[in-house]
Chains A and B, each alone.
Chain A
Amino acid sequence: MSERVPSDELARRVREGNLRAAARLITRVEAGEDECRPALAELYRHTGHAHVVGITGVPGCGKSTLVSQLARTLRADGRRVGIVAIDPSSPFSGGAILGDRIRMSDLVEDPGVFIRSMATRGALGGLAKASLDAVDILDAAGFDTILIETVGVGQDEVDIVQAAQSTVVVSAPGLGDDIQAIKAGVLEIADIHVVSKADRADANRTVMELKTMLTMSMPSGPDQWYTPVVATSSEKCTGFDELRDAIDRHRAHLIDSGELENKRSEIAANRMLKIAEGIVREDFRREREADLADVLGRVSRRETDPHAGAVELLAVVNSRIRHESTADPVQ
């Protein structure tokens, strides 16, 4: 591919399962190239086949290693696995070191596995802006299961639940007591809990704490989903068949209960709103620059308070954007 191939041609190749084309299209969408948007729109119509599984948890809990082992387990069943692995960008330079692949090295040469690393580039919430576009591209390329590995999250980066059909929350043993487990946030979003590093002596305690937490919010009724707790050890290669089965059971539950369709439309709605917010934020960022100094000066001299300053700034920026879009609709 030495000459530039148009994105609609790349999209056509993606649908034939060409992974080189998929890789290039992901690059273009990640770079925010306008030219690829119609191609993405076309591909979007051919998505919905893959099961999208989110893997999240605190930094160092073993997400990448788990993703690698889970992918191998799924491959043993002949399923094709796409992986989107997200790492944080530096808030200072905008650059990133993407190290998730290090733990996935033995999957690299398997043509049934595609791994793509992405940097957050300022996006909060644990995902990158183009993550779901990348998922669409892999879905359209025919992957059966797509694993999204979020950045190492803190306690409330829960965007993954608005992006994946099944959410797996990974906890490592020894990272806090049972009060941590009943706090709000990441632990609440799990469809499946995994306790990683189960070869460690204190893993059982973490399993028990999570199970105890779950009994406090036990669903009632035969059609409800009971969140399982699966213990895995990448070192001893145990627990991954159970994890695969739990994911399959959750998917079956989504389909049987009719929840899958709800979940799909929720994911689509959240995604659209997020893009709209992004456009507004970007407009605001660009438009405010000239006005910032004046308002900022008054706020820092305590002539105006931060809230009033923010409202004033918004009013100025909004009127300018509105003026621009009526005065100069085509640029």
Chain B
Amino acid sequence: MAADDRIRAPAIAEETPAPPDAARGIGVGRIMSEARRYPVFPILLLLIVLVIPAAFADFIAPHDPKLGSLGSKLLPPVWMEGGTTEHLLGTDRVGRDILTRIMYGARVSVVTAVIAIFIAGILGTTMGIVAGYTGGMVDAVVMRLVDISLSIPIILLALVLVAAVGASMGTVITVLVLLMWSRYARLVRGETLAVRVQDFIARAQVSGSSHRRIMLRHVFPNVFNSIIVLATLNVGFVIILESTLSFLGAGIPPPQPAWGLMVADGRVLITSPNGWWVAMFPGLAIMLVVLSMNLLGDWLRDRLDPKQRQV
């Protein structure tokens, strides 16, 4: 025993003083240290819950998202009594497979969020750059519009819009754009003000560049990082808002498999003995996606744009 210890002791002593080397080996230590450097966890989660289902729902989804069979309605998830491997997360009131609908719902969420953020981003960025670069009256008018837009409670505006023109994906995107453009405009205008006074802008002006060219080629690349960070941080917010609107019947209209709509389907079943899973799993999907999007956004902000970081 004693001899054994003496032989082992130096071996351990040789291994321990070099933690960086130990971390380079393949194992938990290596994974943990890499995970700290890159947001591995949120990215994996996003891939599993959002990106892969949204892109490949047609190939990997086990059933049809809009077609149910009354013979298999309200089947519980597989781990409960009466659950089948046919429907891993159970079925809803008309026998549609919940896992399938969550997968297709990912597509609805991604499409809505991307289109809304893209339009709001372009609109807000254009107005922000023009306002910041031009100054004067243009700036004053744009900033008043921003103030007004920021002080209007958006859910209520959405309800009015839906009562007027009906619920559709177009309505949802309109509401989201109306809400978000002002955030981009405000951010970009602030950044533009800082960029405008720098030497390279003056030099571009002296060398005869047009205003449009300066805004596009010199100002825009310098504010781009901030826009990307804001857009990433916005995705989670947009998904929550879209699902809230859908849940209230003011968003994506049925029978589209939107997550908020699925939770709304399961709302009345929560109080009945059977069927809690109908509302539970789509909500869980929303939470996981928003959580990982927020983590990713925080990481990106620290990397690209430390100025926006909160203490």
Q: Do A and B come from one complex?
A: no
Residues of B at the A interface (CB closer than 8 Å) are none
Q: Report A's interface with B, CB cutoff 8 A.
A: none
